[in-house]
Structure 1
């Protein structure tokens, strides 16, 4: 597999590893070590996700209207500073304050890199797929390390994350070459030979794609939260539930590189990829309705992950194509914000739905939701077409 823009991908992999070290252990630490309720832990993580979202929005706007490289240094420095404070003083209530500001710094940095990725995409159509692949490798490594580091000391978790982020900043400063748009005249997009670029923003299509990102995250979070209750109620041990996500990570690492060979970069192919992926998201829920056998959950997670492989890198790719050069950073931050909100609200929304209707009806409703989204793909405009007046 040939990877372009290796420096960019290496930095984003370090970012993903850092995020993956902290998230899995925070609920355990707040509940088991600080002796706070699970509800309190949930609110702390909601605040953390909210501050990442704020960082994304502010950073996306600054990326388009201010300076881009300083945004990376500011966001990275804020994140490292509060990671070091977390490593020194992970006590209540300072932890809440430090974690929130770490999230804001992380959001600023990630928004800058989302903007860079949208610019890089002009010369590297595979950047979103490759970034998704390398990020999953980083998350997979981090998931393996998180439990070990936490068993030694929570201080070590925060300190290791700080080291990873410092490494990312050093690589950025020494090796990263800031991408520049191919051609631009007075801030107006110019069509290049062989390329068809959007003449201006297409808000309707951007809104639809952000809704897709939010709702697919809501759906995926049911597997990461409420499915565990359903499985353990069937007598399936927690270890087997955790193994599902090891299978999912391995599936992404093995099969993601094949995506570009199976689905080449053509507008109709990208739409088909999105529609098929959304259908698989919904199908995964139908497969586990009334399930008692573990193999059915394995089949469900494989189908879900196949849908994720198709959908997750396609949405930011299309967001880039539906944006113009002056708003690429902000457009990507809207997609990232939708992702963050879906992750934050998914367990709550799913919990209410399952409580009101039961697992079977909730899963049918989630399947129906995905089918509505499949139809909404048809409402997306052709890339390169202006918004009708």
Structure 2
């Protein structure tokens, strides 16, 4: 059967699961800062701490999901992640005051971390399309889920936040049904991985240049997400401070999602070209990220925020899905889940530290210093990534010269 290269999960069910899961989670985490500060009357720093802990537990879930996907059973791994997320959202229906909201947000982070890593790990074993194509599609469904969630939140929140938790529970429960009925083929991947490991006499290790490349791309991911999380947390309060409304802030995320919907078909259509020029795609995407935060230094009207968001979104669709492809190209078949777990855990680390770092900078200086800081760390990470790729080229040339001499 393996020779036929059959997908362990049909593509439509993989993407549907991603769409449902991300819609469910978007009912909860984007509101955290506003909910804690406005409804529960906690400080901005406390909101940053809660988001930090949520992302830290998501990071734990990412690592656990990658480990279990490779070492245990993929099917049971993703089913467990969805179950934890569903149980957490169910608890939030009944207990969403302080500190229960924060507590169940942590368990939700573990479940979400496991299921997101599992989805990306499944993508590495899809045979009907290139991994880069699958990663682009997953990124599309992730953001489409954010669109649906954001739109629904605007209509439902006035009736009470309890209804949002109910909707999240229904989403995760629906995903669990899909996993139970459509994801059984995942354990065939597990059996194939175990056989691959048994057939190996020795594990292939990365050379030093490849190791530095992986570290450099992970550093970019960390810095980008530290910066990106300002949009999910502190920029909302900045816009309110300059007399822009919550609706104006929400509209920016609608713009973000709309641009992703527009750009995504082009990415999938030109997937072969973009894969061939993967490094250039990453360079451009990360650079646009830096430019978006540089522009925020001059943002005093909604139009400037919208242009900044457009730059951010373009950079996002170029580089973030490509990171998974970049790492997957360098990962051993028996450790696909582990490496995707590392990518997701670094993402979670950036999301964990981002709101907290932002809140601390704002409390001790200003929003403008925060925007300068975000621009600086992204630019430095790009330079380091470029140097690592140059080191790899130098290493290859030396090997070619050495082989020619021999």
TM over 0.5: yes
Inter-partner Cα distance in structure 2 for 1:363 and 1:38: 17
User: Which aligned pairs between 1:321-340 and structure 2 lie closer than 5 A?
Assistant: 321-340=329-348
Partner residue, 1:251? 259
Inter-partner Cα distance in structure 2 for 1:230 and 1:82: 31
Could you list the per-position Cα deviations for residues 29-83 of structure 1 after superposition, in whole angstroms to 9, with x for gaps in the alignment? 4444444444434333332222211111112111111111111222222222232
How far apart are residue 308 of structure 1 and its match? 0.6
Inter-partner Cα distance in structure 1 for 2:19 and 2:134: 13
Inter-partner Cα distance in structure 1 for 2:128 and 2:330: 13
How far apart are residue 264 of structure 1 and its match? 2.7
User: Which aligned pairs between 1:348-359 and structure 2 lie closer than 5 A?
Assistant: 348-353=356-361, 358=366
Inter-partner Cα distance in structure 2 for 1:313 and 1:319: 11
Inter-partner Cα distance in structure 2 for 1:233 and 1:93: 27
Partner residue, 2:152? 145
Within the alignment, does 1:20 sit opposite 2:26 as a pair?
yes
Could you list the per-position Cα deviations for residues 88-127 of structure 1 after superposition, in whole angstroms to 9, with x for gaps in the alignment? 3334444333332232222222222222122227843300
Within the alignment, does 1:310 sit opposite 2:318 as a pair?
yes
Q: CA RMSD in A?
A: 3.1
How far apart are residue 364 of structure 1 and its match? 4.4
Within the alignment, does 1:290 sit opposite 2:298 as a pair?
yes
Inter-partner Cα distance in structure 2 for 1:138 and 1:53: 21
Cα 1:341/1:122, change in 2 over 3 Å: farther
Cα 1:329/1:229, change in 2 over 3 Å: same
How far apart are residue 211 of structure 1 and its match? 1.3
Secondary structure, counterpart of 2:18 in structure 1: helix
Partner residue, 1:159? 166
Higher helix share: 2
Cα 1:293/1:105, change in 2 over 3 Å: closer
Structure 2: gaps spanning 5 or more residues: 1-9, 400-406
TM-score, scaled to structure 1: 0.84
Q: Give yes or no for contact 1:75–1:107 (8 Å, CA) kept in 2.
A: yes
Partner residue, 1:66? 72
Cα 1:254/1:227, change in 2 over 3 Å: same
Inter-partner Cα distance in structure 1 for 2:237 and 2:29: 20
Which segment is superposed worse, 144-153 or 165-174?
144-153
Residue of structure 2 aligned with 1:106, choices 88, 102, 112: 112
How far apart are residue 129 of structure 1 and its match? 0.4
Q: Give yes or no for contact 2:150–2:254 (8 Å, CA) kept in 1.
A: no
Cα 1:231/1:83, change in 2 over 3 Å: closer
Cα 1:234/1:158, change in 2 over 3 Å: closer
Secondary structure, counterpart of 2:340 in structure 1: helix
Q: Give yes or no for contact 2:27–2:164 (8 Å, CA) kept in 1.
A: yes
Structure 1: gaps spanning 5 or more residues: 191-197
How far apart are residue 360 of structure 1 and its match? 5.1
Q: Give yes or no for contact 1:122–1:182 (8 Å, CA) kept in 2.
A: no
User: Which aligned pairs between 1:32-111 and structure 2 lie closer than 5 A?
Assistant: 32-111=38-117
Which segment is superposed worse, 301-310 or 365-374?
365-374
Inter-partner Cα distance in structure 2 for 1:367 and 1:34: 32
TM-score, scaled to structure 2: 0.81
User: Which aligned pairs between 1:356-371 and structure 2 lie closer than 5 A?
Assistant: 358=366, 362-371=370-379
Partner residue, 2:278? 270
Report how many aligned residue pairs link the two structures.
374
Partner residue, 1:193? none
